[in-house]
Structure 1
Amino acid sequence: MAHEEDDAAKVWDLAEKIGFCMLTTQSGSDLRARPMSAYSERIDNAFYFLTDVASHKDEEIARYPNVCLAFADSKGQKYVSVSGTAEIQNDREKIRDLWATPAKAWWDNADDPSIRILKVTPSFAEYWDSPGTIISYIKMAAAAVSNSRPDMGETAKVEM
């Protein structure tokens, strides 16, 4: 049990550190991904996003609530994929709580009536935490020469 808790904590830690992710939704038979600023709240077991009521995400999520969040720190070689269920909320107090600098690029203030919350409740996650680009390249080169598999750091599949 402790190992699962450690893996879940690692998912939250990496997602919080990276901060931005690609949110993938389903649009009919197609998948759509777009960059979003994530607000991680592990106490709520949720990721929150501010979104606009006029965006197509609302319609996509209403029809297909299963989404994927893909966090990537390519320089640090750290990645997290979170699968979960999304819902759109119009909680004005929560919008004010989440209001931060990235939102100012899209809206004048937290009281803009077009702002909505996209809440994602995770069900499953996977992470990859490598030691960094240079060390990873050295390990891959050494493995190629020795005909072995490189140790590329930690990875785990996690029930959330």
Structure 2
Amino acid sequence: MTQASDLDRVWALAEKIGFCMLSTLSDGEILSRPMAAHAARDENAFYFLTDAQSDKDEEIGDNPAVGLAFADSSGQKYVSIAGRATISNDRDKIRELWSVPMKAWWTGPDDPAIRVLKVVPHSAHYWDSPGTVVSYVKMIAAGLAGTRPAIGDTGTARM
């Protein structure tokens, strides 16, 4: 595959999956938590709404290197992205990203505790398989034939 097609695949998979595990570094330990990602390919960025009092905000302030891990295990589709994160109080972006499910955490888009977490990716790796059943059938066939299975596409992309 070409760099452009690998990049297209990364963005398409991340957008389709939608949720990821955001990983930060805290006192030498990697910590991950699930987050709803808003992919903005035209800006080469992923956006998240976060709380001003969360530990991740402080962790990102100390070390902005983060990882995003998208997984659709039932479809056997995965994307791992490395990037740099920043936290802002961009009220226009908060209103743009706001959706009704966010009311579980905040009163509304004008809640003063909401912040925008922006991740600018620099590299990614993806695995895109045809699905669990097809993958298992191909693995069994390859095992019986003594060959390696061809169970999907994998690639990397500079972002």
Q: Same fold (TM over 0.5)?
A: yes
Q: Residues of 2 paired with 1:127 and 1:52: CA distance?
A: 29
Query: Unaligned stretches of 5+ in structure 2?
Result: none
2:42 partner SS:
coil
Residue of structure 2 equivalent to 1:44: 43
1:57 partner SS:
helix
Q: Residues of 1 paired with 2:156 and 2:28: CA distance?
A: 27
Q: How many residues align?
A: 159
> So what's the TM-score if we normalise by structure 2?
0.98
Residue of structure 1 equivalent to 2:100: 101
Q: Residues of 1 paired with 2:150 and 2:102: CA distance?
A: 39
Q: Residues of 2 paired with 1:37 and 1:84: CA distance?
A: 16
Contact 1:37-1:102 at 8 Å conserved across structures:
no
Contact 1:68-1:81 at 8 Å conserved across structures:
yes
Contact 1:25-1:67 at 8 Å conserved across structures:
yes
Q: Residues of 1 paired with 2:77 and 2:96: CA distance?
A: 28
Contact 1:52-1:114 at 8 Å conserved across structures:
yes
Q: How far does residue 38 in structure 1 lie from its aligned partner after superposition?
A: 0.2
Q: How far does residue 102 in structure 1 lie from its aligned partner after superposition?
A: 3.1
Q: 1:39-64 deviations in whole A, cap 9, x for unaligned?
A: 00000000000000000111100111
Q: How far does residue 28 in structure 1 lie from its aligned partner after superposition?
A: 1.1
Q: Residues of 1 paired with 2:10 and 2:124: CA distance?
A: 7
Q: Residues of 2 paired with 1:150 and 1:17: CA distance?
A: 26
Residue of structure 2 equivalent to 1:27: 26
Residue of structure 2 equivalent to 1:136: 135
Query: Unaligned stretches of 5+ in structure 1?
Result: none
Read off the aligned partner of 1:5 and give its amino acid letter. A
Residue of structure 2 equivalent to 1:115: 114
Structure 1 segment 19-98 matched on structure 2, within 5 A: 19-98=18-97
> So what's the TM-score if we normalise by structure 1?
0.97
Contact 1:67-1:86 at 8 Å conserved across structures:
yes
Q: Residues of 1 paired with 2:137 and 2:101: CA distance?
A: 37
CA RMSD of aligned residues (A): 0.9
Contact 1:22-1:69 at 8 Å conserved across structures:
yes
Deviation >6 Å, runs of 4+: none
